[in-house]
Chain A
Amino acid sequence: MKTIVVLSGKGGVGKSSVTLQLALQLASTNAQVGVLDLDITGPSLPRMFGVENYKVLQSHSGWLPVRVSPQLQVMSIGFLLSDRGNSVVWRGAKKTGMVQQFLRDTYWGDLDYLIIDTPPGTGDEHIALAEEIKTVDGAVIVTTPQMVAINDVKKEINFCHKVNFKIIGVVENMSGFKCPHCDECTDVFNSGGGEKLCKELGLTLLGQLPIDPAFVETVESQKIVQMYGSTSMKKVFEPVAKAVEDKVQATGVEQLST
Chain B
Amino acid sequence: MPEPVPQDLKAPEPEHCPGPQSEDAGKGDACTGCANKEICESLPKGPDPDIPLINERLKDIKHKILVLSGKGGVGKSTFTSMLSWALAADEDVEVGAMDLDICGPSLPRMLGAQGETVHSSNSGWTPVYVADNLGMMSIGFMLPDEDSAIIWRGAKKNGLIKQFLKDVDWGHLDYLVVDTPPGTSDEHISVNSFLKGSGIDGALIVTTPQEVALLDVRKEIDFCRKAGIRVLGIVENMSGFVCPGCHGESQIFKATTGGGEALSKELGVPFLGSVPLDPRIGRACDNGESFLDLYPDSPATTAILDVVDKLLEAVDAE
Contact = CB atoms under 8 A, between A and B. Distances in A.
Tell me whether A and B are bound partners.
yes
A71 interface: no
A57 interface: no
B119 interface: no
Given A10-B73, A41-B183, A124-B154, A47 B212 contact: yes
Interface in A155-174: 155-159, 162
A155 to B, nearest CB: 4
Given A123-B154, A181-B246, A188 B71 contact: no
B17 A148 contact: no
A92 B153 contact: yes
Interface in A1-35: 9-13, 16
Contact of B218 (A84, A122, A146): A84
B109 A147 contact: yes
A154 B213 CA distance: 25
Contacts, number: 237
Interface residues of A, number: 67
B33 interface: no
B246 A184 contact: yes
Taking chain B's interface residues, is the majority helix, strand, or loop, or is none over half, making it mixed? loop
Contacts of A95: 154, 185
Nearest to A14: B73
Given A119-B182, A216-B210, A10 B72 contact: yes
A124 B155 CA distance: 10
B60 interface: no
Contacts of B244: 186
A90 B15 contact: no
Interface string B14-25: 111101000000
Interface string B166-190: 0000000000000001111110110
A123 B210 contact: no
B211 interface: yes
A89 B223 CA distance: 7
Contacts of B14: 93
Contacts of B12: 96
Contacts of B79: none
B43 interface: no
A122 B210 contact: no
A86 B215 CA distance: 10
Contacts of A41: 70, 182-185, 216, 219
Interface in A41-98: 41-42, 44, 47-48, 84-97
Given A86-B219, A89-B184, A148 B109 contact: yes
A177 interface: yes
B103 A179 contact: no
A180 interface: yes
A23 B151 CA distance: 28
Nearest to B147: A154
Interface stretch (B50-58, B83-91, B250-258): B250-258
B299 interface: no
Contacts of A190: 279, 282-283, 286
Nearest to B256: A220
Given A42-B216, A94-B15, A220-B212, 15 more contacts: A11-B74, A12-B73, A13-B73, A92-B185, A121-B181, A148-B286, A152-B103, A155-B147, A156-B149, A186-B243, A190-B282, A211-B252, A213-B252, A220-B254, A221-B256
Interface of A: 9-13, 16, 40-42, 44, 47-48, 84-97, 100, 119-124, 126-127, 144, 146-149, 151-152, 154-159, 162, 177, 179-182, 184, 186-190, 211, 213, 216-217, 219-221
8 contacts: A42-B215, A48-B212, A93-B153, A94-B15, A119-B183, A121-B104, A162-B151, A186-B245
